Amino acid sequence: MESNRKQLQCSACGSTNIRSALTAESISVPSAESEIVSASEDTCLDCGMVGDFAGRNDAIIGAALKRAESRAVENNLQFLSSMGLTMAYMERALGLPQRTMMRWKTGEHSAASIALLQMVRTYPWLLQVAEHRFDRRYAQTAILEQAAVVIHSALGSTVGISHGTTGAIEGGVIVVWYSSGQGINGTPRVPQSDLVNTSSVGMLHAGG
């Protein structure tokens, strides 16, 4: 879409011989549908300068970003709620004042609250770590448990690694590997886990 806009003035040479076009800009925020907005692109036909001579784009893009962020907050709260995580529980676990998340939901959110919600949505088990006051050992065990869940799910295995197994790891290393062929005694895809007590490096081999 193009039009001649005589009221615009080139910010470089002052010419009013400007060609104005609208370009579609996509505003994207995690967990929210993209917002498509029309941004202005003005070209000075005398000196070739290209820009947003009327300064309209910042407000348009800022408003779209705000809408996308509000939807991300709503979507993430809805997702967490569908997992059975209530706002009251999450606020308690994270040490937030009561009704904080309700305020976020009704539009009073900040960049920090958006980031926190996105992290909790991505790693919901962070809430349990927070509930345990970020105890280092609990946090490490939670990471290994989650890694096991991801590997098992990726390989379609029905074998579970119990809390007891990973809970036994104390400053050691769990080495989990799978082979695509047969495991011990001809059983396919059974994880072989070993506890090594010597370093803090973890290795997870999947597939093969």
Which residues of the shown chain bind Zn ion in the complex (CB under 5 A)? 10, 12-13, 15, 44, 46-47, 49
Cα-atom radius of gyration of the chain, to the nearest Å? 27
Q: How far is the CB of 121 from Zn ion (least distance, A)?
A: 47
Per-position DSSP letters for 60-95, written without gaps between them: HHHHHHHHHHHHHHHHHHHHHHHTT--HHHHHHHHT
Taking the complex as a whole, the smallest distance from the CB of residue 2 to Zn ion amounts, in Å, to 17
Residue (47 or 63) nearer to Zn ion, CB: 47
Q: How far is CA 186 from CA 50, 153, 190, in A?
A: 69, 21, 10
Q: Closest CB to Zn ion among 45 and 88?
A: 45
Nearer to Zn ion, 13 or 159 (CB): 13
| Cα of 34 vs its chain's centroid, Å | 15
> Is 44 or 120 the residue whose CB approaches Zn ion more closely?
44
What is the smallest separation between the CB atom of 42 and Zn ion, expressed in angstroms?
A: 10
Minimum separation from the CB atom of position 48 to Zn ion (A): 7
**Cβ atoms of 50 and 8 closer than 8 Å:** no
